[in-house]
């Protein structure tokens, strides 16, 4: 029973901190809007993808981008917890490391879902409606974000300084984003790029959400979803292991 | 025995931080680990609190093995770390709530319990302020309250007054003394302040270079020196003649100062002064723990050497996120 209330306690703390740190929210929302309006608007004025306006085409990708960056960056807070010695208080509690890890994951998922929701509010501007697919979109985002937050936490559990963390994740963030099909369709890629994008879990997130929002996807949405579930499960397992090994 | 430690050892690579320590601590005792910085006090504490795995040896806390039954150990103990470890974006109340939930304190009497410990450390009217607005002393008190929230049998205090100003330190001691009276809890304190160990502890273990040098009550340790301390500033002491005086128990000499342990010093001081030569200044006092430390380790325990303590941490890492 104390594991469950502990899980809730850790989530609650993350959520409160998230609400109190307005700058965190603002930064992760402004950035995607730049991409959408400046990059998307600029390129979109000259071409479209398969009859879809370019801005509309990248919209699902930008949602994934926003969640991707904030999810992985979320791992920095575990580094801060170490630095602030708050982590000691958590580690000395009679909770399993799995619970601590899952509590942290849920905190990060909540943050990222709130950010995604805010960006989804402007969908009508692009003439995109979700209908009943909204529930499925959240389901896909939930699974995808769980995996991504785990990546951040795993890296964070290994790092001692926030600077080191920032350096490492910039090598993770940008490839995941640029090689995900968020900004271009996957059907005409040169072979090497094709291979890499197919190894990138974010690709399936973008594809599924694009399918659910715009009705066009490269793979079947079920296929995307199953792969995302496998990706997230694997990372939860690795993450639990990483937290067990984590030292102060 | 509430805590039983046998041959406890911690090595970091080639460095032995804690070297085969033995301790047995009774229920209801206030036990001090006294020693200079880097002596291995905090490492010992972290091993007892299951935060560090011992390299060797056995430690039973409340009857539970710290390695094999770490969960049971964690439920039995409360710990106040040397560095502040509360979340400064949360309020005092929220920090306590977080702690209570993690320790499985039932929701039903959560409020009551939190209020109880807040009252104990005098923070009721500041409970809804964010911790970043607290002073160092308040924050330390909050963390003591937090350590007590789940009714542990044992409370670990790691350098409870490090970096606090003298007035706040005095308050903190009063809180701890009150706590012992009201809660009948077993307390383990690490400190490098002699005064603190002398005032609060029933028994102390002097630790140096990872080893326990001696364990006893402060009174016994002091009386063990077998006399008062005469310290004299003198250039050319006639130590040979002094050595022949029967009532001089021990002679120590450190940079220009001669320290004698003397029986009936009040009576014998004139003869000593006549014998030793021309003295620049002289001081007579009953033995302090400082003298005890010097006696057992051959070194002075300086109080200024603490670094990287509470204050520095509190001010350096305030900015984040």
Structure tokens at A67: 């969640």
Give the number of C-alpha atoms closer than 13 A to the C-alpha of residue A20, restricted to the C-beta side.
15
User: Taking the domain B226-286, which CATH number applies?
Assistant: 3.30.70.920
Q: Do A94 and B90 touch (CB under 8 A)?
A: no
Q: Kindly state the average pLDDT of the residues A24-35.
A: 83
Q: Kindly state the average pLDDT of the residues B276-303.
A: 78
Q: What is the pLDDT of residues B150-195, one digit of tens each?
A: 989 999 999 988 878 888 888 888 888 888 888 889 999 998 888 8
* Alpha carbons B242 and B248: distance in angstroms, whole number: 7
Q: Kindly state the average pLDDT of the residues B13-25.
A: 92
Q: For residue B143, give the chain A residue with the closest CA.
A: A89
- The pLDDT, as a whole number, for residue B315 is 46
Out of A8, A17, A85, name the one closest to residue B83 (CB): A85
From B204, B227, B206, B226, select the one nearest B217 (Cα to Cα): B204
Using a pLDDT cut of 70, give the percent of chain A over it. Answer: 99
Q: Measured between beta carbons, which residues in chain A are less than 8 angstroms from residue B94?
A: 13, 16
Range 1-20 of A in CB contact (< 8 A) with B: 1-2, 5-6, 8-10, 12-13, 16-17, 20
Length of chain A in terms of residues written = 248
Contact of A83 with chain B, judged by CB distance below 8 Å, is answered with yes
Confidence category of residue A233, pLDDT binned at 50, 70, 90: very high
ipTM above 0.85, yes or no: yes
Rounded to 5 degrees, φ, ψ at A211 are -60, -45
| Helices A133-158/A54-73 angle, 10° precision | 40
* Alpha carbons B147 and B18: distance in angstroms, whole number: 25
Classify A163 in phi/psi space as left (phi over 0), alpha (psi -120 to 50) or beta: alpha
Helix, strand, coil fractions of chain B, as percent rounded to 5: 40, 25, 35
User: Taking the domain B3-217, which CATH number applies?
Assistant: 3.40.50.300
- The pLDDT, as a whole number, for residue B300 is 67
Helices (H), B91-165: 92-102, 110-120, 136-148
Out of B83, B89, B98, name the one closest to residue A9 (CB): B98
Q: What is the pLDDT of residues B54-113, one digit of tens each?
A: 999 999 999 999 999 998 999 999 999 988 899 999 999 999 999 999 999 988 889 999
- The pLDDT, as a whole number, for residue B303 is 46
More confident residue, A51 or B11: B11
Return the domain boundaries, chain B: 3-217, 226-286
CB neighbours of B180 closer than 8 A, spacing ≥ 6?
B30, B187
Rounded to 5 degrees, φ, ψ at A23 are -60, -35
Q: Kindly state the average pLDDT of the residues B42-58.
A: 93
Using a pLDDT cut of 90, give the percent of chain B over it. Answer: 44
CB neighbours of B95 closer than 8 A, spacing ≥ 6?
B86, B87, B131, B142, B146
Q: What is the pLDDT of residues A147-180, one digit of tens each?
A: 999 999 999 999 999 999 999 999 999 999 999 9
């Amino acid at each position: 029973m104390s594991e469950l209330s502990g899980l809730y306690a850790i989530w609650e703390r993350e959520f409160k901190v998230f609400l109190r740190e307005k700058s965190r929210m603002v930064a992760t929302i402004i950035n995607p809007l730049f991409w959408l309006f400046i990059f998307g608007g600029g390129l979109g004025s000259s071409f479209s993808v398969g009859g879809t306006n370019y801005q509309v085409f990248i919209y699902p990708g930008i949602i994934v981008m926003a969640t991707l960056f904030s999810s992985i960056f979320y791992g920095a807070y575990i580094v801060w917890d170490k630095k602030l010695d708050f982590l000691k208080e958590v580690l000395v509690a009679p909770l399993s490391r799995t619970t601590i890890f899952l509590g942290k994951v849920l905190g990060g998922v909540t943050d990222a879902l709130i950010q995604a929701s805010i960006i989804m509010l402007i969908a009508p501007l692009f003439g995109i409606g979700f209908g009943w697919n909204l529930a499925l979109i959240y389901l896909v985002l939930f699974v995808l974000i769980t995996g991504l937050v785990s990546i951040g936490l795993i890296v964070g559990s290994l790092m001692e300084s926030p600077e080191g963390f920032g350096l490492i994740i910039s090598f993770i963030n940008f490839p995941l984003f640029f090689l995900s099909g968020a900004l271009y369709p996957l059907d005409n890629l040169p072979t090497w790029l094709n291979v890499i994008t197919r190894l990138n879990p974010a690709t399936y997130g973008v594809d599924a959400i694009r399918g659910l929002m715009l009705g066009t996807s490269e793979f079947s949405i079920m296929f995307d979803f199953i792969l995302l579930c496998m990706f997230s499960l694997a990372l939860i397992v690795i993450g639990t292991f990483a937290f067990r090994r984590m030292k102060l | 025995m509430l805590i039983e430690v046998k041959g406890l050892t911690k090595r970091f690579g080639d460095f032995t931080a804690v070297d085969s320590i033995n301790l047995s601590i009774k229920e209801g005792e206030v036990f001090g680990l006294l020693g200079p910085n880097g002596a291995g006090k905090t490492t010992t504490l972290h091993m007892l609190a299951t935060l560090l795995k011992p390299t060797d040896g056995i430690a039973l806390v409340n009857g539970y093995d710290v390695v094999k039954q770490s969960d049971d150990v964690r439920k039995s103990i409360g710990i106040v770390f040397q560095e502040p470890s509360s979340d400064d974006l949360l309020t005092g109340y929220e920090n306590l709530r977080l702690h209570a939930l993690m320790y499985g304190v039932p929701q039903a009497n959560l409020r009551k319990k939190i209020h109880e410990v807040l009252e104990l450390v005098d923070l009721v009217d500041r409970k809804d302020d964010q911790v970043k607005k607290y002073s160092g002393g308040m924050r330390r008190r909050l963390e003591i309250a937090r350590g007590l929230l789940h009714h542990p049998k044992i409370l670990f205090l790691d350098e409870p007054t490090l970096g606090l100003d003298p007035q706040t330190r005095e308050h903190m001691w009063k809180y701890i003394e009150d706590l012992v009276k009201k809660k009948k809890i077993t307390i383990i304190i690490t400190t490098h302040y002699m005064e603190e160990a002398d005032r609060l502890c029933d028994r102390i273990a002097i630790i140096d270079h990872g080893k326990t040098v001696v364990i006893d009550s402060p009174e016994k340790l002091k009386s063990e020196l077998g006399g008062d301390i005469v310290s004299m500033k003198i250039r050319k002491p006639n130590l040979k003649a002094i050595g022949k005086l029967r009532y001089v128990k021990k002679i120590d000499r450190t940079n220009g100062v001669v320290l004698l342990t003397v029986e009936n010093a009040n009576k014998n001081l004139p003869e000593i002064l006549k014998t030793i030569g021309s003295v620049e200044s002289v001081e007579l006092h009953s033995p302090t723990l400082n003298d005890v430390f010097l006696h057992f380790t051959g070194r002075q325990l300086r109080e200024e050497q603490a670094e990287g303590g509470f204050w520095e941490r509190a001010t350096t890492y305030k900015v984040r996120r």
